[in-house]
């Protein structure tokens, strides 16, 4: 099930952004205000009277240029701007570079329950750090039951019903020199560049559950090179038990897609049966996908070559 993560203003005060040295100037009782947009905004146009430029749920950064402009306004006009802006859906104001904050703005923010944070850092630094933080926490996300591996540099997500052999296949891949990103519960985020990044959270990171053995620590057993923190998902392989009489793709001519967070991923349905070495098949599928990315489609090239041979035989028979 997908969800859009939410960020409360108080989360900006956490350890991840400790280098910005935020202090709460006012609104400490309203730090639960939600930030709903990953991009921060400078309210210069709004201070000039163009209020539609204030986008709901964004962090508003007040720097030196905004402060200097406000000083040029008539006091009554400045107060009118403050009153109009603070009635909009503003999550928080952040004043940078240790600049003084107009008391009228502080009072308007108190009335409309908008926190003001201050930082001694430059606006450019605050914008970059807060923007990266919000992008990381506000992008669409979902969790899937599966195993994510780095195979030949590709992020390969193994899915399938419980007990089909996902973890055992992943363990075999690890012994063949590939790396584990996560087992069982994979968190996936879709970033603005349309990349799907998967990783494992919490105590499950670097661990696997193997029936009959229990929980193992892959990093301790196989070394640091056997694990990865996160990986782009490039290929989805669904393992399913072999069913007699069921039609399976034998040529690989059809390109099938699997959607994660509405983003299409190349998809392979791979039957699992006694005697099939699934790890080697996954490895070959990854190698073949790399070739496709380089423009070499083995199945299509084979079909084209076969068709050309048949055409030559037809022409020869017609003579």
| Chain segment 253-270, per-residue pLDDT in tens | 667 899 999 899 999 998
- For the record, the structure tokens of 172 come out as 């075999």
23 token code pair: 């202090």
For the stretch 215-237, pLDDT in tens is 899 999 999 999 999 999 999 99
Count CB atoms within 10 A of the CB of residue 69: 13
User: pTM to 2 decimals?
Assistant: 0.68
Catalytic residue among 184, 219, 230, 292: 184
291-308: string of b/e by CB count within 10 Å (b at 16+)?
Answer: ebeeeebebeeeeeeeee
Q: Identify the pLDDT of residue 177.
A: 94
Q: Which of 167, 149, 125 is nearest to 233 (CA)?
A: 149
Number of other CB atoms surrounding residue 309 within 10 Å = 10
Respond yes or no: is residue 241 known to be catalytic.
no
Is 4's pLDDT higher than 50? no
What is 141-301's CATH topology?
Answer: Rossmann fold (3.40.50)
What is the C-alpha separation between 172 and 177, in angstroms, rounded?
A: 9
Predicted pLDDT of residue 251: 61
- What is the end-to-end Cα distance of the chain in Å, rounded? 63
Contacts of 164 (CB under 8 A, 6+ apart): 239, 240, 241, 272
In contact, 92 and 115? CB cutoff 8 Å: yes
Of 129, 166, 189, 206, the active-site residue reads 166
Q: Where are the domains of the chain?
A: 3-137, 141-301
- Sequence-ordered alpha helix ranges (H) in the chain: 44-47, 64-71, 75-86, 103-111, 123-138, 166-175, 218-222, 278-293, 298-318
pLDDT of residue 203: 79
Q: Which residues of 250-275 are buried (b: 16+ CB within 10 A; e: fewer)?
A: eebeeeeebebeebebbbbebbbeee
Name the catalytic one among 250, 254, 314, 319: 250
pLDDT digits (tens, 9 = 90+) for 80-109: 999 999 999 999 999 999 999 999 999 999
Three-class SS string for 32-99? CCEECCCCCECCHHHHCCCHHHCCCCCEEEECHHHHHHHHCCCHHHHHHHHHHHHCCCCCEEEECCCC
Rounded Cα–Cα distance for residues 284 and 273 (Å): 17
- Name the DSSP letter for residue 111: H
Cα dist from 294 to 53, 55, 169, 232, 290, whole Å? 44, 42, 27, 18, 6
Q: Kindly name the residue from 32, 50, 145, 176 that is annotated as catalytic.
A: 145
Catalytic (active site) residue 250: yes
Structure tokens at 248: 């399976």
Say yes or no to pLDDT of 2 above 50: no
Q: Give 150-175 pLDDT, tens digit per residue.
A: 999 999 999 999 888 899 999 999 99
- Mark whether 262 is an active-site residue: no
Asked if 145 is an active-site residue, the reply is yes
Say which CATH superfamily domain 3-137 falls into.
Answer: HprK N-terminal domain-like (3.40.1390.20)
pLDDT (average), residues 283-304: 79
Contacting residues for 140 by C-beta, under 8 A, at least 6 apart: 2, 3, 4, 189, 190, 261
Q: Which of 119, 85, 80, 83 is nearest to 101 (CA)?
A: 119
Q: Are 155 and 235 in contact (CB under 8 A)?
A: yes
Same fold, 3-137 and 141-301: no
Determine the 3-state secondary structure of 271 from DSSP. Answer: strand
Query: What's the Rg (C-alpha) of the chain?
Result: 28
């Amino acid at each position: 099930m997908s969800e859009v993560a939410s960020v409360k203003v108080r989360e900006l005060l956490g350890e991840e952004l400790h280098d910005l040295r935020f202090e709460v100037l006012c609104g400490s009782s309203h730090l639960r205000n939600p930030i709903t947009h990953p991009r921060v905004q400078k309210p210069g146009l709004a201070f000039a009277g163009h209020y539609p430029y204030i986008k709901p749920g964004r962090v508003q950064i007040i720097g030196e240029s905004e402060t200097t402009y406000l000083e040029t306004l008539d006091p009554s006009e400045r107060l009118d701007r403050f009153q109009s802006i603070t009635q909009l859906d503003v999550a928080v104001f952040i004043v940078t570079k240790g600049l003084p904050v107009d008391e009228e703005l502080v009072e308007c923010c108190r009335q409309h329950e908008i926190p003001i944070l201050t930082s001694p850092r430059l606006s450019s630094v605050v914008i970059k750090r807060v923007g990266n933080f919000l992008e990381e926490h506000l992008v669409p996300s979902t969790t899937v039951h599966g195993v994510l591996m780095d195979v030949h540099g590709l992020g390969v997500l193994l899915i399938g019903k419980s007990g089909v052999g996902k973890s055992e296949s992943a363990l075999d891949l690890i012994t063949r020199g590939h790396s584990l990103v996560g087992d069982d519960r994979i968190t996936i985020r879709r970033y603005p560049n349309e990349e799907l990044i998967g990783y494992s959270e919490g105590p499950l990171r670097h661990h696997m559950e193997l029936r009959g053995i229990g929980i193992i620590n892959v990093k301790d057993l196989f070394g640091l090179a056997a694990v990865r923190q996160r990986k782009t998902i490039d290929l989805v392989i669904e393992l399913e038990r072999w069913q007699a009489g069921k039609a399976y793709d034998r040529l690989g001519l059809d390109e099938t897609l699997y959607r994660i967070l509405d983003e299409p991923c190349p998809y392979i349905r791979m039957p699992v049966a006694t005697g099939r070495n699934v790890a080697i098949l996954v490895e070959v599928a990854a190698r073949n996908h790399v070739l496709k990315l380089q423009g070499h489609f083995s199945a299509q090239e084979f079909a084209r070559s076969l068709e050309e041979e048949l055409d030559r035989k037809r022409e020869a028979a017609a003579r």
